[in-house]
Structure 1
Amino acid sequence: MADILKHLDLNSVDGTRLNIDALYQIVPSAFTEVRDDKTGEISRKVNFEVLRRLLGDNATDGDGEMYQFTWVGKNAARAEAAKPTDKTLRPVPEDSVDWDNTKNVYIEGDNLEVLKLLQRSYMSKVKMIYIDPPYNTGNDFVYHDDFARPVAEEDLEAGNVDELGNRFRKNTDTNGKFHSDWCSMIYSRLLVARSLLTEDGVIFISIDDNEVRNLRNICDEVFGEHNFVANFIWEKRLNRENRKEVSVRHDYILCYTKMVEEQKRSLSLLPMNDKALSNYGNPDNDPRGLWKSDPAHAQGGHGTKSQFYTLTAPNGKKHELPSGRCWLYTEDVMNEAIKDNRIWFGKDGNGVPRIKTYLNAKERGLTPETLLFAKDASTNEKAKNDLKDLFDGIAVFETPKPVELIKLFCLLSSKSDDIILDFFSGSSATAQAVMQLNSEDGGHRKYIMVQIPEETPEDSEARNAGYATIPEIAKERIRRAGAKIKADSPLTTQNLDTGFRVYRLDESNYENVSLSPKEYKQDQLDLFANNIKSDRTDLDLLYGSMLAWGVRLDLPLQAETVDGCTIYTVNEGDLVAYFSSGITDKVVAAMADKSPLRVLFRDACFKEDAQKINIYEQFKQALDWADNDAFNNIRVI
């Protein structure tokens, strides 16, 4: 009974467990239960023989030739993506803006670890991801993952050397490591990021010629080739560069959706512009409103026998099909459309038949095009100058993406209350784009920015201006951009959220107590009673536990004092927490009065096990919980 209050699992999601759970939902008959000899616990395991029989001829052992994309280190990258992390995110209110009210989140830290930590709280909740990862120019990049291995080990796996170190082929840039490090870096992150997307979520990835081919192959594997939406070509530069053999004026933006839905667009239509609207009119005063005429015939090869006929107009004129064409409608349907005045024969009735398409009978919008010209999406140079102007003439960041470009993708893929994620956020152009779009359409989109604390170059304008890291630039950019947006449109942006909560990736809140008690000195034994690091605050423990228990980081928080101690309430009861030593009946009553979905205590709250049993029973009685409810809803750390 002493263990009746269950300890909260503080590690991130186990990616392997996610895959097993997903497979179980599809083929439960391929699973069996196995008891662990050491713990006695029963767990589900895959029975591969049953799974193979279910798959029939669609299973392969991987022997022989097959179509696949691989590189040295791919298996290690896949394993790293699935491996849990025990790191945590610590709140930094002093760097934040409007902490109590904002729904936006800014996170400093390596994005692979951060993405893992976000899985429980944000799985299937992010509508759109935009990332601008480091392009592989042959230089080192700052994402040094744990699965990066020595050259000798990679050479051995790639077959470049034998076990004695004898080299078989030259070690050129095209031989493994030049591309494989980059592929491993992006592959592991995309594997985790996919789990955060909603089922109809969309991802946009900026890239150049160096890795666009490999990125396309990786995305085909991670998201599915059938979920490819487009490869946008963005005109990033207006002027020719004569320094190179070919002046490259474009970059790519690959777009994938998590799940293609039948009869549903992956991207929204763009707003109708004046040019598009000018195509609509109403020369015959049709009561159904504005319309435009479209061809009434199509390629004949796609038609059925019933779509080949001589069309008779209301004035008796006969219209024959052009060579190789068929009518869009069968003859009966066409005649009904003519009677209903939905076919246009020109003002004099003698013109070529055309179908009337009504403005109000379809979505008002334009299909986005793969060519993104600078006039619509801006350029790198303008993005850099705009950021320079925002920082009073200081060039704080060399390669920002245009706000207009990212705002376009937000417009195509998100609605009013959606969450937008950028985990290579750089100077946080994405945050500015989200705020700008919200100010224009009255939306309440929320963003999550993630950026590794990369140092600014020595003697750079940014360093000389006092910005030691890229996150320092980004946070200041968001502050300034938010203030400017509100100043530019004061009447329509009073309720615009320009704040953000800052979190910083750090080591676990808890001391490592994996050693057995006899291996510790006498003065270290209190680690087992209180294993929380001395520099951690209540808020560190609270937000770390929220991540572990699947509670979002942007929810409102209230703190109140009861019996001289603090009770924390997240989102009016999503989570109620108490960390002080010494717990009283009055505290328990105050917590239960919140009608909480989750209740959290610190182990040090209890002087003896009997108190845990008493707490368990008090919450059961106060909230009318069954044993199973109490067991699942109360945790200790």
Structure 2
Amino acid sequence: MHKLTAHDPEAQSADLIADNLQQLKALFPEACTEGKIDFEVLKQLLGGAVEEREEKYGLNWHGKRRARQLALTPSTGTLRPCPEDSVDWDTTRNLMIEGDNLEVLKLLQKSYAGKVKLIYIDPPYNTGKDFVYPDDYRDNIRNYLELTGQVEGGRKISSNTEASGRFHTDWLNMMYPRLKLARNLLRDDGVIFISIDNNEVENLRMLCNEIFGEENFIEQIIWKKRSTPPNDKIIGANHDYILGFSKNIETLQLNLRERSQEQIERYRNPDNHVKGDWTPGDLMANVKGGRYVTSLYFPIVNPNTGEEHYPSSNGNWRFSKDRVAELLENNEIYFGENGKGRPKLKRFLIDVKDGVTYPTIWDFVPLNTEGSSEMAELLGSMTAFENPKPCGLIEEIIKIGSNKESIIVDFFAGSGTTGNAVIAQNAKDNGTRRFVIIQLPEPTGRIDHSTIAELTKERLRRAAAKIKNELTTKDTKSTKEKISEDLLSNADKDSFRDLRDFRGSNNLDLGFRVFKLDSSNIRAWEPDRDNLPQSLFDATDHLKTDRSEQDILFELLLKLGLDLTIPIEQKTIAGKTVHNIGAGVLLVCLAPQITAAEVEPLALGLVDWHQQLAPVGDSQLVFRDSAFADDVAKTNLTAILQQHGLDNVRSL
């Protein structure tokens, strides 16, 4: 039975450097010598594609190398489950994580890499106020614990003033490693949208060009956030920007914008055409370079008047002569209301795309004032957020960048607008989107000593309750109306749904699981040189004694790369609780004590349950190493399991 320690790859977050090396080895095995990369050979293999000049185009700043290294450094932390702070813990697939987003993004690499369809973030704008996450290259977990007051010697977030000479540098050092890790989470067709103002929009664009690739730039959207410009500026900005980048522009498919009622009303059917509503469209095709295409230059004869119509002087018809004849035969060419005008194409609603292309200027979504109103309605005097983004803005981003089954991530969660918007959009289109939002528990400065993360959770609870109430009210009303209508026709009243239900109740996920960043449950070897005997005694059980079985279980899921909302089934075997994850792919028993007499019934019970589950892939079994009475008990249990084909047995 192999014992997992804090140094085993399975007990750590993803090692991105090792992954990069493996990819290089697979592509260029000739450049790999004794486990290292020979850059001279690599340069020869890449030929002229290697840039060796000292001066080159790009974005550089002091600390960039350290920021890159910070993204590659594995995390030493874990995420501890908090069912008491959660809503619908047993059924929800949404996540709200408290912690430094850099460390959390590292911890999510194994479980969520390549699975996220949409990332939206609204990072701190660089205004010179407190925003810098003081990342510590040596131990970011200790830094996080100090920052949030969980250990003594807490440090405040430092101000990023222009006088420090690092106005842009600090912001870029904060953003670079987070965006680097975020890219790994995206699916191949995934997309990221980032809100920003004019202080850092140019730097952010260049930063994303480097991380995502300039070819993967989608667009720089202008969002009208205010109805009028502020008066304290020479020219008052009443807009912000939203930068969009894709993981792979070749596979990207953005959704179309829903047509407005005004656009739909342009389509009518005055002649009762069998294909339905239509609107006049151009039959002309512009000529490139002033050259006509002979096959597309011919007269169209008006069947009502016999008049011949030729293309105008700057173009051809869009279709061939045979195709035009077919359109005339099917009454799909329009000659004006009086039947005597120039020919137009009837563009039928059933033939056009389901929506329209999104513009770059978004003046059709709510203003910032609506975001403030939403927060005031939900949290009242508890709100501590300045200008939170309105739900309508995020819902529009969700509509353009995701499908109904997507995972959506926001690692600067703030007031929780993204989580709120995901629930609201799911309620509107019966989607099953999931959110993963991350927020540092920064102090709000209020007298109740609350944190931003606490307000984020409370906003999600109240938003979910509001949406549920609205759906219940709406369904109750519509069901009552339906009952009244059917009573007139003597319908069977038993066929109606229970009024206690609400639309989408079987699918709409209104809950969220809360996890909090903390140091690993696996104790690292940190000897006290003044008391080595006690250090040796403490090391006999390398799992921390103040951690629960649930803490350890979820760290195991995290480090093995399993979804943190994967269904978990529990069963008692030989008096011990056994957790079944993934229909038998992982069986975990973390009982604190397993005696010699309990080994055989426990092992045989596990074998029996495993056979009932009949998992598709190989199964892994994990036990608490210190639980066994002695090495003989551990060896006997392993032997019984292996006799029945269960060879992958580990201990913690």
Pair in the same fold by TM > 0.5: yes
Unaligned runs of 5+ in 2: 139-159, 476-502
Counterpart for residue 301 of structure 1: 288
Counterpart for residue 552 of structure 2: 541
Q: Deviations over 1:233-288 (max 9, x none)?
A: 111112332222222211111111111136x63x2112222111112223444333
| 15 and 309 in structure 1: CA distance in 2 versus 1, 3 angstrom threshold | same
Mapped pair 1:552 → 2:567 = no
Could you tell me how far apart the structure 1 residues matched to 2:402 and 2:102 are? 24
User: What is the TM-score when the length of structure 1 is the normalising length?
Assistant: 0.85
Counterpart for residue 512 of structure 2: 500
Mapped pair 1:578 → 2:589 = yes
Aligned letter for 1:486? Answer: K
Counterpart for residue 149 of structure 2: none
| 318 and 189 in structure 1: CA distance in 2 versus 1, 3 angstrom threshold | same
Counterpart for residue 531 of structure 1: 542
Equivalent residue runs for 1:110-189 within 5 Å? 110-147=100-137, 173=162, 177-189=166-178
Counterpart for residue 350 of structure 2: 360
The alpha carbon displacement at 1:529 in A equals 2.8
Aligned letter for 2:471? Answer: S
Could you tell me how far apart the structure 1 residues matched to 2:255 and 2:290 are? 29
Aligned letter for 2:518? Answer: D
The alpha carbon displacement at 1:127 in A equals 1.1
Q: Deviations over 1:123-165 (max 9, x none)?
A: 11111111110000112314111259xxxxxxxxxxxxxxxxx
Could you tell me how far apart the structure 1 residues matched to 2:4 and 2:412 are? 40
Which of 605, 620, 625 is matched with 1:598 structurally? 620
| 309 and 208 in structure 1: CA distance in 2 versus 1, 3 angstrom threshold | same
Moved more, 128-137 or 221-230: 221-230
Q: Is the contact between residue 4 and residue 613 of structure 1 (CA under 8 Å) also seen in structure 2? A: no
Mapped pair 1:636 → 2:651 = yes
Could you tell me how far apart the structure 2 residues matched to 1:259 and 1:303 are? 37
The alpha carbon displacement at 1:176 in A equals 5.5
| 619 and 19 in structure 1: CA distance in 2 versus 1, 3 angstrom threshold | same
Equivalent residue runs for 1:262-301 within 5 Å? 265=253, 267-301=254-288
Mapped pair 1:32 → 2:32 = yes
Counterpart for residue 455 of structure 2: 473
Could you tell me how far apart the structure 1 residues matched to 2:419 and 2:247 are? 22
Moved more, 568-577 or 337-346: 337-346
Could you tell me how far apart the structure 2 residues matched to 1:130 and 1:601 are? 39
| 635 and 294 in structure 1: CA distance in 2 versus 1, 3 angstrom threshold | farther
The alpha carbon displacement at 1:407 in A equals 1.1
Aligned letter for 1:511? Answer: R
Moved more, 555-564 or 503-512: 555-564
Which of 239, 243, 247 is matched with 1:254 structurally? 243
Counterpart for residue 513 of structure 1: 525
| 335 and 420 in structure 1: CA distance in 2 versus 1, 3 angstrom threshold | same
Could you tell me how far apart the structure 1 residues matched to 2:45 and 2:285 are? 44
Which of 232, 236, 245 is matched with 2:234 structurally? 245
Q: Deviations over 1:36-89 (max 9, x none)?
A: xxxxxxx5x43434433332222222x143221111111111111011111111
Unaligned runs of 5+ in 1: 35-42, 149-170, 458-462
Counterpart for residue 416 of structure 2: 428
Which of 189, 194, 201 is matched with 2:183 structurally? 194
| 306 and 537 in structure 1: CA distance in 2 versus 1, 3 angstrom threshold | same
Q: CA RMSD, aligned part only?
A: 2.9
Counterpart for residue 219 of structure 2: 230
Could you tell me how far apart the structure 2 residues matched to 1:330 and 1:20 are? 57
| 598 and 336 in structure 1: CA distance in 2 versus 1, 3 angstrom threshold | farther
Aligned letter for 2:93? Answer: K
Counterpart for residue 216 of structure 1: 205
Counterpart for residue 43 of structure 2: 52
Q: Is the contact between residue 569 and residue 581 of structure 2 (CA under 8 Å) also seen in structure 1? A: yes
Could you tell me how far apart the structure 1 residues matched to 2:288 and 2:650 are? 66
Could you tell me how far apart the structure 1 residues matched to 2:186 and 2:290 are? 39
| 288 and 174 in structure 1: CA distance in 2 versus 1, 3 angstrom threshold | farther
Could you tell me how far apart the structure 1 residues matched to 2:457 and 2:624 are? 33
Q: Is the contact between residue 286 and residue 315 of structure 2 (CA under 8 Å) also seen in structure 1? A: yes
Counterpart for residue 86 of structure 2: 96
Moved more, 351-360 or 85-94: 351-360
Counterpart for residue 407 of structure 1: 395
Which of 486, 500, 512 is matched with 2:468 structurally? 486
SS in 1 for 2:293: helix
User: What is the TM-score when the length of structure 2 is the normalising length?
Assistant: 0.83
What is the aligned-residue identity percentage?
Answer: 39
Could you tell me how far apart the structure 2 residues matched to 1:362 and 1:250 are? 32
Counterpart for residue 76 of structure 1: 66
| 5 and 132 in structure 1: CA distance in 2 versus 1, 3 angstrom threshold | closer
| 28 and 288 in structure 1: CA distance in 2 versus 1, 3 angstrom threshold | farther
Which of 306, 312, 323 is matched with 2:313 structurally? 323
Could you tell me how far apart the structure 2 residues matched to 1:4 and 1:438 are? 44
SS in 2 for 1:182: helix
Could you tell me how far apart the structure 1 residues matched to 2:121 and 2:205 are? 14
